[in-house]
Amino acid sequence: MPHTVVVLTGASRGLGASMARAFAAPGVHLITLARGTDASLRADVEAKGATLDAQVVDLSDAATLDRNICTVIAAMPRAAERYVLINNAGAVAPVAQAGNFETADVATAFTLNVTALIMLTSRFLSATEALNADRRIVNISSGAGRAAKSGWSVYCATKAAVDMFSKSVKLEQVEHGEHGARIVSLAPGVVDTDMQVAIRSATPEQFPSVNAFQDMKETGKLATPDSVAAKIVAYVARDDFGSIEIDDIRNY
């Protein structure tokens, strides 16, 4: 049986794929959630001695969300020493001024960025509560949840929700003493991923700060997914993990 089980969403590309590779080690069982599969990811993970259960799910689909989450949680081995949930999946869309939204786009954003994260956390906590194991949750948030940006009102709102949800869950888990799960809402910084491509493709009318993000790309100021993933893996392993529930990986 594995000594560590890691459940990771948004694992097919970008920061998520880098985290999957970074967490891979002997004794680690990875359960990844993504809309597609990547044969090279499986090869890389298994080459490092880990095992991989790649679940193909669309966490933005409200109609299938609960069923998919229950399937993933049921797949977790129940005899590990540590359980880690990394809620990484998310999207910046819709990037627009607030007078130009469509209901479906806003609903999709909240389903993926908030509802899926909340329900995965809920089912994870319930499934591991009776286990004699260390439990850790990382909700990948954003500086956008802590500082407003024109054109990102929906994204900012979803990430602010992630921060407040994490703070509230910490209050609940502290009441369980040493057995309580530890939780952090963690901003990863500005990472060179497909999300950044989407951000840079916006017009100044949609997103007035777009030129600043284009400049960061052109001047090499974006962090690489691999470097950020390595920092997050080290962060999750810290003895004091969870002591700061709203954090930024750039502080480390």
Q: Count other C-beta atoms under 10 Å from residue 192's C-beta.
A: 20
Radius of gyration (C-alpha) of the chain in whole angstroms: 18
Q: Count other C-beta atoms under 10 Å from residue 150's C-beta.
A: 12
Average the pLDDT over 108-118 and give the result: 98
pLDDT tens for residues 154-167? 999 999 999 999 99
3-state SS, 8-47, equals EECCCCHHHHHHHHHHCCCCEEEEEEECCCCHHHHHHHHH
**The predicted structure's pLDDT at residue 1:** 74
Reported as a pLDDT band with limits 50, 70 and 90, residue 2 is: confident
Domain boundaries, given as residue ranges, for the chain: 4-189+225-251
Distance (Å, rounded) from C-alpha 7 to C-alpha 207? 33
Average the pLDDT over 220-247 and give the result: 98
Round the average pLDDT of the chain to a whole number and report it.
Answer: 96
Distance (Å, rounded) from C-alpha 174 to C-alpha 82? 18
- The answer to whether 249 touches 235, Cβ cutoff 8 Å, is yes
Reported as a pLDDT band with limits 50, 70 and 90, residue 195 is: confident
**The predicted structure's pLDDT at residue 194:** 86
Residue whose entry in the numeric block shows the structure tokens 């777009």? 210
Does the pLDDT value for residue 177 go beyond 80?
A: yes
Tell me the H-state helices in the chain: 14-23, 39-47, 65-74, 103-110, 116-128, 153-174, 194-200, 210-218, 225-236
Reported as a pLDDT band with limits 50, 70 and 90, residue 193 is: confident
- The answer to whether 93 touches 206, Cβ cutoff 8 Å, is no
With CA atoms as reference, report the closest residue to 167 among 239, 95, 242: 242
Does the pLDDT value for residue 42 go beyond 90?
A: yes
Distance (Å, rounded) from C-alpha 221 to C-alpha 230? 18
Reported as a pLDDT band with limits 50, 70 and 90, residue 213 is: very high
Average the pLDDT over 217-244 and give the result: 97
Residues annotated as catalytic are 155
Average the pLDDT over 140-159 and give the result: 97
Does the pLDDT value for residue 35 go beyond 80?
A: yes
Average the pLDDT over 187-198 and give the result: 91
pLDDT tens for residues 88-107? 999 999 999 999 999 999 99
Q: Count other C-beta atoms under 10 Å from residue 124's C-beta.
A: 22
Does the pLDDT value for residue 185 go beyond 90?
A: yes
Amino acid 82 reads R
Q: What is the reported pTM?
A: 0.96
Average the pLDDT over 44-56 and give the result: 97
Residue whose entry in the numeric block shows the structure tokens 């998520």? 16
Reported as a pLDDT band with limits 50, 70 and 90, residue 8 is: very high
pLDDT over 70, % of the chain: 100
Instruction: Domain 4-189+225-251: give its CATH architecture.
Output: 3-Layer(aba) Sandwich (3.40)
**The predicted structure's pLDDT at residue 151:** 97
Determine phi and psi for 73, rounding to 5 degrees: -65, -40
